Chain A
Amino acid sequence: MATTKRTIEVELSTTGLDAQGRPRRTPLLATEGGQAVALDAPPGIEPDLEGEHMLINIGPQHPATHGVLRLVLELDGETVVRCIPHIGYLHCGFEKIGEYRQYNQIIPWTDREDYLNSPGNNVAFALGAERLFGIEITERCKVLRVIAMELSRIISHLVWLGTTAIDIGAYTPFLWLFQERERVYLLLESWIGARLTTSLTRVGGMGADIPDGWTEGLRHFVTTFPRTIDEVDAMLTRNAIWVGRTIGLSALSPEQAVNYGLSGPMLRAAGVAYDVRKDFPYLDYETYDFDVPVGSTGDVYDRYLVRLEEIRQSVRILEQALERLPDGPVNVDDPRVILPPKHKAMSDMESMIHHFKQVMEGPRPPIGEAYVAVESPKGEKGYYMVSDGTSKPVRWRIRPPSFVNLSAIPMLVEGHLLSDVIAINASIDIVMGEIDR
């Protein structure tokens, strides 16, 4: 008997009413020569299911797709034969709107693209804009930005760990880790006034200096927080279910990972020690003492281990940053980009005009372009900005790490079971806001 691949999942629309007035359904099996093939097999003969591939749709609204990703999977039994991802359900035109905003006005948008990592994006954007303006930031600002980036790496990994644990079947880590995340929210809130969308930086400095006593709060956090990570580590790392569902899943070779443009924990789990902080450093990361965790097989378990270790390394960096946090000004002394102090703008005519022109016309960088990449929790995040001498960029390009990481998903899931697709998809650490932009 000839076996044809047929779908049994595609829901077909009704083609009208039949003689009884009920909606007529198009038969699930194909028509041949205009005649519908009978659905019932002859008695005693099992219907031949060989070669029947099923098309299954996950998303765009599904709790395990971490947002609005849509995956269409072709299944042979339970094995994924082919995976077609669909993205763009959260395309909000960030890059277009960046061409209509001044550099400082873009910073709120950077909060909202990779919303798990807002402070890190703010810092990355400010670094790019400062390269374009030719500004050297102050020492205190550098250390504060390192603190912001590492805090945001921690909270991003916390969400990843919590939601991935839910996907694989453990709910408790989510509750524990969100408690820790709330503590970071408190710290960020007392610093800048917002929990999630921080808009922490400005071109040439920070939105605000840290308040008095803030470093004690952070010190308390970095001393007590690792306990929670140890608890989660003890709960998951040797857990039979966790190990069984992650080890050996979608292993990658280093060459493959590099060729697919993967970055961040995805790439490092495959054994490539590429970390932008080490290899193309910024913010004086070369002077901090930290390790880059590297996996050996690139499977889901390695990605988990790498991220877990990165959280600990971030705590190490935070400790060092706290040690060296210097006194001094946060903002550069550059009237091109920095607003005059409020009390002067309210009392002094020249300062007020300066303030007005800064806000209404915006600072203008010289003609040029800059691509500044940082190590975001998801990988190499780049901001590419092109200036034509006006106060608004000609082009503001986000190089989204999870976009490139996700583009490898057909290669990662094909040949695995349907239930493993959830684990693999979770291990990529996608944020749809960043992917679709």
Chain B
Amino acid sequence: MGLSPRPESGLVAQQHGDEPWITTRLDLLVNWSRAKSLWPMPFGTACCAIEYMASAASKFDLARFGMERQSFSPRQADVLICAGRVPFKLAPVIRRIWQQMPQPKWSISMGACASTGGMFDNYAVVQGIDSIIPVDVYVPGCPPRPEGLIYGIMMLHEKIMRERSADTALRAEMEPDPRSQLYIPPPVIDEISEPFGNSVHQQRSGL
């Protein structure tokens, strides 16, 4: 014997006559419905895309998290999952796809390369897609295990549940500088993509 289960916070169902009814905050209802049926748009480029496929396949089954429908069109997607490295040649593509997605939209940067450039600190790779599009959740790993990706998705659920519809800034479209197309000032980009740690020593050829 124990206590009867507590009602879920914020959601109280009461029996009033024959009509069941619920009181809740509107935000909670909206956020709940958004979070529990996120349609992902997999922007798979490299190794992480294989782990993404493994997550979506039979063993890990992303459908358990409301992601049954993989949306391969950005126009019917809620969350952009950038799985894999993004070279400069691909940068305008991911920017374009992000702009094609309707609000509300979120993005997950899956893996070290998408988040920071990873081990590719060279002439070809963007040092983190957050210099191109805004990112909600970073999933570390090279590549992240499916459990890692699922944890990132759960974090995104949590983030969505905390959103307030009164906060209009949440849904504001990113507006890059029309001349440079950057939405972060160039000195900041240069600073955050400086080599650090061991990679400073690995700029030398020969020896």
Chain A residues numbered 85-113 whose CB sits less than 8 Å from any CB in chain B: 88-93, 96-97, 99-101, 108-109, 111-112
Chain A residues numbered 180-202 whose CB sits less than 8 Å from any CB in chain B: 181-182, 185, 195-197
- Is there a chain A Cβ closer than 8 Å to B196's Cβ? no
Is the interface on chain B under 10, 10 to 19, 20 to 34, or 35 or more residues? 35 or more
Task: Report the bound CA distance from A220 to B167 in whole Å.
Answer: 56
- Is there a chain A Cβ closer than 8 Å to B49's Cβ? yes
Contact string against A for B residues 171-204, beta-carbon threshold 8 Å, 1 for contact and 0 otherwise: 0000000000000000000000000000000111
Contacts of B59 in A (CB 8 A): 178-179, 182
Contact status A115-B207, CB under 8 Å = no
Binds B, one of A22-30, A61-69, A133-141, A409-417: A61-69
- Is there a chain B Cβ closer than 8 Å to A207's Cβ? no
> In the complex, what's the smallest C-beta–C-beta distance from A387 to chain B, in angstroms?
11
Given contacts A61-B93, A112-B47, A196-B50, contact A390 B206 (CB under 8 A): yes
Contact status B44-A92, CB under 8 Å = no
- Is there a chain A Cβ closer than 8 Å to B65's Cβ? no
Binds A, one of B18-26, B29-37, B118-126, B150-158: B118-126
Contact status B50-A116, CB under 8 Å = yes
When the two chains form the complex, which single residue of B46, B90, B143, B202 contacts A100, counting CB atoms closer than 8 Å?
B202
- Is there a chain A Cβ closer than 8 Å to B105's Cβ? no
Given contacts A88-B89, A93-B124, A195-B51, contact A99 B143 (CB under 8 A): no
> In the complex, what's the smallest C-beta–C-beta distance from B101 to chain A, in angstroms?
12
* Residue on A nearest B122 in the bound complex, by CB: A93
Interface of B is mostly: loop
Contacts of A101 in B (CB 8 A): 202
Given contacts A115-B46, A179-B57, contact A195 B205 (CB under 8 A): no
Contact string against B for A residues 152-175, beta-carbon threshold 8 Å, 1 for contact and 0 otherwise: 000000010001000000000011
Contact status B47-A61, CB under 8 Å = no
Contact status B205-A100, CB under 8 Å = yes
Contact status B72-A63, CB under 8 Å = yes
Contact status B207-A392, CB under 8 Å = yes
> In the complex, what's the smallest C-beta–C-beta distance from A293 to chain B, in angstroms?
25
Q: How many A-B residue pairs have CB under 8 A?
A: 103
- Is there a chain B Cβ closer than 8 Å to A60's Cβ? yes
When the two chains form the complex, which single residue of B87, B142, B202 contacts A91, counting CB atoms closer than 8 Å?
B87
Given contacts A178-B59, A179-B59, contact A159 B50 (CB under 8 A): yes
Contact status B45-A90, CB under 8 Å = yes
Most B CB within 10 A of own CB, among A61, A90, A108? A61
* Residue on A nearest B47 in the bound complex, by CB: A115
Contact status A392-B43, CB under 8 Å = no
Task: Report the bound CA distance from A197 to B90 in whole Å.
Answer: 23
When the two chains form the complex, which single residue of A90, A179, A185 contacts B46, counting CB atoms closer than 8 Å?
A90
Most A CB within 10 A of own CB, among B46, B54, B125, B142? B46
Task: Report the bound CA distance from A163 to B54 in whole Å.
Answer: 12
When the two chains form the complex, which single residue of A90, A99, A100 contacts B85, counting CB atoms closer than 8 Å?
A90
A: number of interface residues (CB 8 Å)? 43
- Is there a chain B Cβ closer than 8 Å to A361's Cβ? yes
Chain B residues numbered 113-141 whose CB sits less than 8 Å from any CB in chain A: 119-120, 122-125
- Is there a chain A Cβ closer than 8 Å to B58's Cβ? yes
Contact status A91-B47, CB under 8 Å = no
- Is there a chain A Cβ closer than 8 Å to B67's Cβ? no
- Is there a chain B Cβ closer than 8 Å to A401's Cβ? no
- Is there a chain B Cβ closer than 8 Å to A376's Cβ? no
Contacts of B142 in A (CB 8 A): 197
Contacts of A205 in B (CB 8 A): none
> In the complex, what's the smallest C-beta–C-beta distance from B71 to chain A, in angstroms?
10
- Is there a chain A Cβ closer than 8 Å to B97's Cβ? yes
Contact string against A for B residues 79-96, beta-carbon threshold 8 Å, 1 for contact and 0 otherwise: 000001101011001000
Contact status A100-B44, CB under 8 Å = no
Contact status B53-A178, CB under 8 Å = yes
Given contacts A61-B97, A178-B53, A361-B207, contact A196 B143 (CB under 8 A): yes
Task: Report the bound CA distance from A77 to B51 in whole Å.
Answer: 38
- Is there a chain B Cβ closer than 8 Å to A250's Cβ? no
Contacts of A109 in B (CB 8 A): 119
Contact status A196-B51, CB under 8 Å = yes
Task: Report the bound CA distance from A109 to B97 in whole Å.
Answer: 28
- Is there a chain B Cβ closer than 8 Å to A427's Cβ? no
- Is there a chain B Cβ closer than 8 Å to A425's Cβ? no
Contacts of A97 in B (CB 8 A): 120, 122
Task: Report the bound CA distance from A97 to B125 in whole Å.
Answer: 12
Task: Report the bound CA distance from A112 to B46 in whole Å.
Answer: 8
B residues adjacent to A (C-beta < 8 A): 43-47, 49-51, 53-54, 57-59, 72, 84-85, 87, 89-90, 93, 97, 119-120, 122-125, 142-143, 145, 202-207
Contacts A90-B87, A195-B51 aside, 20 further interface pairs with beta carbons under 8 A come to: A61-B97, A62-B72, A68-B93, A90-B45, A96-B122, A97-B120, A99-B205, A100-B202, A100-B203, A109-B119, A112-B46, A175-B57, A178-B57, A179-B59, A181-B54, A182-B58, A185-B54, A197-B142, A361-B207, A391-B207
Mind listing 15 A-B residue pairs with CB under 8 Å?
A60-B93, A68-B90, A89-B87, A90-B85, A91-B87, A92-B122, A93-B120, A93-B122, A96-B123, A115-B50, A174-B57, A178-B54, A179-B57, A391-B207, A432-B46
